[in-house]
C-alpha cells in the first residue's frame, strides 16, 4: 500500500494524473479555506515531520511501474505542498524519473514571495496557484490565511514569478456563493490577473463536500462572471473523465477516499469491476458513505 502516492485521477485539463502527497497523515496548511474538502485545522507556517525525499521517490518508482500510462505527476499535500522543506530537491529527483510525463504542483501561492520557493517552483512543468480574491478583506474572509500571509505581497510574488517562469503558470479561482461571486469581485480579479499574466485561468466552484457550510454557484453564474476576465485564456471547470478502468486494492481505496471524496463519475470511469465490488463492501460495512453536493454524488470514507 502506498503512503505518499495516490492513484490515477483524470482531468480534461491535464490528462491522467498520479498524485504525490507530501503530508499524508495530517492537514498542514497556511490557509483554512471555507471551501476546503479537508477537515478544518489551525493554520501553520511550517511542516512538521516531513517525509524524506527518498521515501517519496522510492514509492514513486513503484507507482510509475504500476501506472505507466499517466500523463502528469501532481505534487500536492493534505494542505500546502510548498511548506515541504525539500521541495526543490524532490522536484529534481522526480524530473529524473518522469520520462515524458509532466510535473505539476498545486499550491495556494502563499509562499510565492519566498525566493527559495520560487527556485523550487522553477523545476516544475506546470505551476497552478490559487487566487480567489483580489482584496484583502475578501481574501481574509474566504481563504482564512495564516497571519504571516499578506495578499498584496503574494500578488507581487506571483507577478515576479510569472516574469521568470518559462513553463505553464495556471491560476485557479474558486467561486463561493455570496462571498466572491459579484461583478465587482471579478473586475478586481481581472486587474490583478492581467498584471500577473498567467498562461490560463481555471474557474470553478465547490464540487465536493467542504469543511464549512458554504455553497457553490451555478454554471450559469460562472459563465457570467467569466466574461469579466479579459486577455487571458479561461477554462470553466467541468468534471468529466474518460479513462481506462484501474484495479485498486481495499487499502488503496480507503487511502484514496481519506484524501478526498471521489465522485460517482470518477468511480465509474476509473474503478474496474473488482474495485467497485471492494467499494460496495465498504459501503455495506458502514465504513464508507455517499453524500450529494450540488447534485453530484460522492463517496467518502467514515473515520
CATH number of 5-238: 3.20.20.70
Amino acid 297: pLDDT: 82
Strand duo 126-130 + 102-107: pairing: parallel
State the residue for C-alpha cell 478544518: 40
Amino acid 7: pLDDT: 77
Amino acid 295: pLDDT: 63
| Cβ-based neighbours of 2, under 8 Å, separated by 6 or more | 59, 62, 63, 252, 255
pLDDT (tens digit per residue) in 178-232: 999 999 999 999 999 999 999 999 999 998 889 899 999 998 899 899 989 998 9
Detail the DSSP E strand segments found in the chain. Answer: 5-11, 15-21, 72-76, 102-107, 126-130, 168-175, 200-205, 234-236, 262-263, 288-293, 296-301
Where are the domains positioned within the chain? 5-238
pTM to 2 decimals? 0.84
pLDDT (tens digit per residue) in 147-182: 999 999 999 999 999 999 999 999 999 999 999 999
Amino acid 242: pLDDT: 45
Residue among 224, 274, 275, 277 nearest 253 (CA): 275
Can you tell me whether residue 127 is helix, strand or coil?
strand
Q: Which residues of the chain have pLDDT under 70?
A: 1, 11-13, 238-244, 293-296, 303
Amino acid at each position: 500500500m502506498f503512503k505518499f502516492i495516490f492513484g490515477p485521477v483524470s482531468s480534461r485539463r491535464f490528462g491522467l494524473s498520479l498524485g504525490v502527497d507530501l503530508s499524508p497523515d495530517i492537514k498542514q496548511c497556511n490557509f483554512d479555506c471555507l471551501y476546503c474538502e479537508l477537515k478544518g485545522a489551525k493554520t501553520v507556517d511550517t511542516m512538521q515531520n516531513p517525509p524524506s525525499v527518498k521515501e517519496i521517490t522510492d514509492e514513486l518508482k513503484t507507482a510509475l511501474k504500476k501506472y505507466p500510462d499517466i500523463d502528469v505527476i501532481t505534487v500536492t499535500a493534505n494542505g500546502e505542498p510548498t511548506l515541504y522543506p525539500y521541495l526543490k530537491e524532490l522536484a529534481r529527483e522526480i524530473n529524473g524519473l518522469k520520462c515524458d510525463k509532466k510535473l505539476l504542483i498545486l499550491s495556494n501561492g502563499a509562499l510565492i514571495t519566498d525566493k527559495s520557493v520560487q527556485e523550487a517552483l522553477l523545476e516544475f512543468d506546470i505551476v497552478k496557484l490559487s487566487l480567489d480574491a483580489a482584496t484583502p478583506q475578501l481574501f481574509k474572509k474566504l481563504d482564512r490565511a495564516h497571519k504571516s500571509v499578506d495578499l498584496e505581497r503574494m500578488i507581487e510574488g506571483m507577478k515576479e514569478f510569472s516574469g521568470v517562469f518559462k513553463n505553464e503558470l495556471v491560476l485557479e479561482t474558486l467561486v463561493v456563493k455570496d462571498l466572491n461571486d459579484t461583478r465587482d469581485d471579478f473586475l478586481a480579479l481581472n486587474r490583478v490577473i492581467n498584471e500577473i499574466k498567467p498562461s490560463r485561468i481555471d474557474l470553478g466552484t465547490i464540487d465536493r463536500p467542504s469543511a464549512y457550510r458554504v455553497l457553490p454557484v451555478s454554471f450559469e453564474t460562472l459563465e457570467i462572471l467569466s466574461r469579466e476576465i479579459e486577455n487571458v485564456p479561461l477554462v470553466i471547470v467541468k468534471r468529466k473523465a474518460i479513462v481506462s478502468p484501474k484495479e485498486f486494492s481495499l487499502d488503496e481505496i480507503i487511502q484514496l477516499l481519506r484524501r478526498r471524496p471521489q465522485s460517482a463519475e470518477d468511480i465509474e470511469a476509473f474503478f474496474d469491476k473488482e474495485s467497485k465490488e471492494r467499494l460496495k463492501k465498504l459501503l455495506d460495512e458502514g465504513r464508507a458513505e455517499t453524500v450529494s453536493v450540488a447534485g453530484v454524488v460522492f463517496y467518502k470514507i467514515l473515520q
